[in-house]
Structure 1
Amino acid sequence: MANYLKDLPDGFNPGPLDLDKPLDNQIALLKLQADFSGADVQGGFGGQAWAWLPGKENILLFNTYGIGCSRLEYDRDSHSWHFSHREALFYLDPITNEVLKTWKNPMTGKTVEVIPILNDPVNRIYPIEGGRFAPPYPYVINGDNLVFQVDVLRAEQNSMSRAEYPLHSQQDVYQSGELWAIRGSLSEINDPEITSASCHTAWGRLAMWLPFMEMGDTPGFMIYHSQSFKLANGWQDLPKHIYSYVEQNHPVYFKAPEKFLGMAANDNSWTYSKKIIDKRRIEAGLGPEDSVFEID
């Protein structure tokens, strides 16, 4: 038998799977997203990011390329899977595909420093039953194609309030939408000798303006659209310029977190940017109305 994790939930079935049984359904999803051997899983996702401007023409702002690395383990005490993950996304010139460090914002005319998405970590908990991410998950089958549709819409207190961060924050409520279509081969998922099935995910995201854009007073939002793949050959499947950039600047993102630190440790663009803004304000004696990302 294939090399599965030593600790698995009661009733674990390596395949064939009955997708209408909650645990089998969850195993199918996690075979796509992770590796039941406990090995790191590498992913790469290229795409685009657009500006949606009410009553105006929408603008292609960036090409994007992201990477993620994950590891799965089962926690018997909580009867849940712990998904340890870190991810980075880089903003690229839409013509040259060069990783951008500075960018002239076409909506403001100002040149700003570009802050990539550096989320370390982005952990998840998949409970066997009960809780937000408990199975079963909605799916469709067409031939050998299995697709899970997972929509995660968030509305919660923003770490950067409008009063304290008027340039960088549009509203006091942090809102975003993550729309995933997670596709794989039914025959792979049903094979008990396969601990990690190949996976393609179509990913869409709706989000507020990024803090580095300094457009807190501007109506509109961002739209991301990417195609994500589990990298069959590991990091050598990345575009060469992306691999080199990560290796030179952010090599920690080539590995999954060593320990599961829980959901409270999670980072996002706003919590990460807030650390930068707060530090620069203190160092330069800047106030809420002052730019910290504009380049003269």
Structure 2
Amino acid sequence: MARAKRLLVKRFSRRKFFRDSAALGLLTTLAAKMGLVKTAAANNEQVHRRTGMAKYLDPLPPGFNPGPLDMEKPLDNQVAMLKLQADLSGEPVIGIFPGKAWIWIPGEGNTEIFHTYGVGASRLEYNPDEQGWRFYHREILLYTDPQTGEVVDTWKNPITGMTVRVVHVHNDPVQRFYPLEKGPFAPPYPYMINGDNLVFQVDVFRPPAPGNNPLTRKDYPLHSQQDLYQTGELWAIHGSMEALNNPENTRVPCHTAWGRISMWEPFFEMGNRPGFVVYHSQAFTTQNGVDDIDPKIVSYMEKHYPQFLEYPHAPTEWGEGFQENHWTYSQKIIDKARAEGKTVGESVFGVFD
């Protein structure tokens, strides 16, 4: 093959090449047979990909491929997940997750207690020293009136009959690290494809472990159901395979079905009564940022959570180790109320006016 190429160059001088159209046709034919045209096409594709990658983060991991993606390759699999969860340009993404919450008491029944509305703000960067992606994130979940959609700050518990102050979920920060390999969030992630639909199914059941619940029964008998923190969260993360395969897309619209089963929220003040709280939400990455948030929710956030509405929306600091959750957040409120003498018996959240 190499000898044929050398002979081809010798036989067709530049002058004869332009003078003899037959030679041009022969050259094209021979070049195609020898794979030269294919190589040129491959080079064009590489140029196209580099052009498409101009808006991507810098740096990126070795072997990064913006698309088309091979879902069996761990890094491509991870790129698909991150295009859905964040934006590989490094720009922040606002997500919303409206839903409902129920109380489930075995042998007694199920009661819808709230509608909910969540807002999350995320930002992504690749850290070459850590060989993984830092996922900067904060989130709130607000409890709303099922009839009006207004955010509620007090609530009459239908089980106890007591009116309590509502403590909305405020996890800030709640960040994740996506390693390229090894670790709880390392790829590949389990997925299903049906036509153009890609779904990552992620099931997280947090097993009870000694010391993982800051609200112990001994110290917080009215606000703690058990000494061990135990929850389950179920995600179905969905997006378009065609959109994910397009190297021009640093992010792809995402819909996630999210379910959670947990212990009583501390503000319920239900102690160790048997039962669960069940959440079910539909989450979406917004196309227009904060403009896509329900106006009633925006009005409440402007007063209480303005950091979500102001650029850069997501955290800018990488918190080493500490992650806020509803139990650590509630513990701070309870301890502060006790220290200031703002309790009635064991009750911290009861409204007695």
* Fold-level similarity (TM above 0.5): yes
Q: Which amino acid aligns with 1:294?
A: G
Question: After TM superposition, what 4+ stretches of structure 1 lie above 3 angstroms from structure 2?
Answer: none
State the match for 2:165 in structure 1: 113
Query: Deviations along 1:119-141, whole A, 9 cap, x unmatched?
Result: 00010011110011111101011
* Deviation of 1:110 (Å): 0.1
Asked if 1:194 corresponds to 2:249, the answer is yes
Aligned identity (percent) is 58
Q: Which residue of 2 aligns with 1:257?
A: 315
Give the structure 2 partner of residue 78 of structure 1. Answer: 130
The question of 1:276 aligning with 2:330 is answered no
Matched, 1:227 2:282: yes
AA in 2 matched with 1:250: Y
Letter in 1 for 2:293: L
1:21 to 58, 73, 80: 73
Do structure 1's residue 127 and structure 2's residue 184 form an aligned pair? no
Q: How does 1:1-296 map to 2 (within 5 A)?
A: 1-2=52-53, 3-155=55-207, 156=209, 157-254=212-309, 255-262=313-320, 264-284=321-341, 290-296=346-352
Q: By percentage of residues, which structure has more helix?
A: 2
Q: Give the C-alpha shift of residue 248 in structure 1.
A: 2.1
**Long gaps (5+) in structure 2:** 1-51
> 99-108 vs 250-259, which deviates more?
250-259
Which is worse superposed, 252-261 or 28-37? 252-261
Name which structure has the greater RCO, CA cutoff 8 Å, separation 6+. Answer: 1
Residue 285 (structure 1) shift: 7.2
How far apart are the structure 2 equivalents of 1:286 and 1:231?
Answer: 41
Deviations 1:74-105 (A, max 9, x none): 11111111100000010011111110000000
Contact kept in structure 1, 2:226 and 2:272, CA below 8 Å = no
SS at match of 1:173: coil
Asked if the contact 1:151/1:178 (under 8 Å) is kept, the reply is yes
How many residues were matched structurally?
294
Contact 1:177 1:205 in 2 (8 A): yes
For residues 159 and 253 of structure 1, the distance between their equivalents in structure 2, rounded to whole angstroms, comes to 27
Instruction: Indicate if the aligned counterparts of 2:342 and 2:348 stay in contact, CA closer than 8 A.
Output: no
The answer to whether the Cα contact below 8 Å between 1:64 and 1:90 also exists between their aligned partners in 2 is: yes
Write the distance in 2 (CA, Å) between the matches of 1:7 and 1:221.
45
Gaps of 5+ in 1: none
Distance 1:130 1:267 in 2: 24
Cα distance, 1:217 vs structure 2: 2.2
Greater CA radius of gyration, 1 or 2?
A: 2
TM-score where L is the length of structure 1: 0.97
SS in 1 for 2:189: coil
Aligned partners of 1:88 and 1:253 also within 8 Å: no
Higher strand proportion: 1
Distance of 2:115 and 2:201 partners within structure 1: 24
Does structure 2 conserve the Cα–Cα contact (< 8 Å) formed by 1:104 and 1:112?
yes
Q: Matches of 1:253 and 1:207 in 2, distance apart?
A: 26
Contact 2:56–2:89, Cα closer than 8 Å, also in 1:
yes
CA positional deviation for 1:218: 1.0
